[in-house]
Amino acid sequence: MEFLATLPNNLLLYVVVAHALFAIGLYGMLFRRTLIGFLISLELLLQGVGINIMAFGTYLVEDPMQARITTLFIIGIAAAEAAVFLGIAVAVFRNYQTIGVDDLSKLKG
Amino acid sequence: MFDTVIHNVYYLSFAMILILVLGGGIIAVTSQNLIYCFFGLVASLLGVAGLYYNLGSPLVAVMQIMIYIGAVCVAIAFGVSLTRKAGDEGVNPPDIKAAIPIVLVTAMLGSTIKGLEGRHIVASAHKIDESRIGWMLLKEYLFPFEIISILLTVAVIGAVTIALINRRI
């Protein structure tokens, strides 16, 4: 019970949650069938990374500001990456009428 | 008496945040319907914002909600509705490949915990004055800050250009 009471302020919990989110995202990258599903899994991966950076920066460093600024930059770059990814997905859908990753095999040989 | 009630509500909310993060992620990855995936992603992002708040940073939590749920998720919703085709979505059934994330992430977690052994916890998650972020962004982090804005502009213009070109590859 003593351990449970300190759980919301425990570095290890955040690390485990971040890694679990990373594993979920990796699973989605392997088993999703569409490009949009890939994008959703990619966002989950980036969330895992962000939680890790925030947790380490909060508990292991004197000044937590650097971790927060890094997390803000990660959020900004993820927004840019999502925009580019969606543009590519729409372009692929216009040209091939599908975004299923198993059907996009024109360069397969 | 009142104090214990407050504490119980706090722990309950933290458990709900954890359920939101992991449950939303699992729904986002395993659901057959892309719309359910989308809402799972929204739930997971909301839970991550709650985790940031618990780590003592309301600013990053608000930024997470504004940028991810307000911008990225709306863009994903447009992407889903623009590229939907019946019978195209869903997940492949799990097979031996499912061992890859489990093994990889377990190894990562083990090495992380081993690397944490010598480190001491020097701070705790408490609220501090966050107005320093603005000063830091405009002083020592000025160059990355400007580069991010250029990157966002270029990325959005590039995405619109890619999506609007109407020619057969």
Classified as helix, coil or strand, B145 is helix
pLDDT in tens, B82-116: 888 776 677 888 888 889 999 999 999 999 999 98
Which residues in A lie closer than 8 A to residue B38 (C-beta atoms)? 40
Q: Which of B108, B35, B96 is nearest to A18 (CA)?
A: B108
Residues 6+ positions from A59 with CB-CB distance below 8 Å: A11, B121, B122, B123, B124, B125
How far apart CA A24 and CA B27 sit, in angstroms, is 10
What's the mean per-residue pLDDT of chain B?
88
Cα distance from A45 to chain B (closest Cα, Å)? 10
Does B169 score more than 60 pLDDT? no
CA separation for the pair B133, B147 (Å, rounded): 17
Half-sphere exposure of B5 (CA within 13 A, CB side): 2
Nearest in space to A44 (alpha carbons), one of A63, A27, A65? A27
Report the pLDDT value the prediction gives residue B168, as an integer from 0 to 100.
52
Both tokens of A15, joined, read 């690390």
Contact B75 A86 (CB under 8 A): yes
Q: How close B1 comes to chain A (CA, Å)?
A: 17
Half-sphere exposure of B45 (CA within 13 A, CB side): 28
Are A60 and B119 within 8 A, CB to CB? yes
The CA-atom distances, in angstroms, between B109 and each of A8, B45, B53, B114 are 19, 22, 24, 8
Residue B104 in tokens: 């990889």
- One-letter amino acid for residue B69 of the chain: I
B4-54: pLDDT as tens digits: 888 888 889 999 999 999 999 999 999 888 899 999 999 999 999 999 999
Q: B18 contacts in A (CB within 8 Å)?
A: 17
For chain A, give the secondary structure using H, E and C: CHHHHCHHHCHHHHHHHHHHHHHHHHHHHHHECEHHHHHHHHHHHHHHHHHHHHHHHHHCCCCCHHHHHHHHHHHHHHHHHHHHHHHHHHHHHHHHCCCECCCCCCCCC
List, for residues B108-132, the tens digit of each pLDDT value: 999 999 998 888 888 777 777 788 8
Identify the pLDDT of residue B62: 93
Q: B109-112: long-range contacts at Cβ-Cβ below 8 A with a sequence spacing of 24 or more?
A: B109/A15, B109/A16, B109/A19, B112/A15, B112/A19
Instruction: Give ipTM to 2 decimals.
Output: 0.90
- Residue B90 near chain A (CB below 8 Å): yes
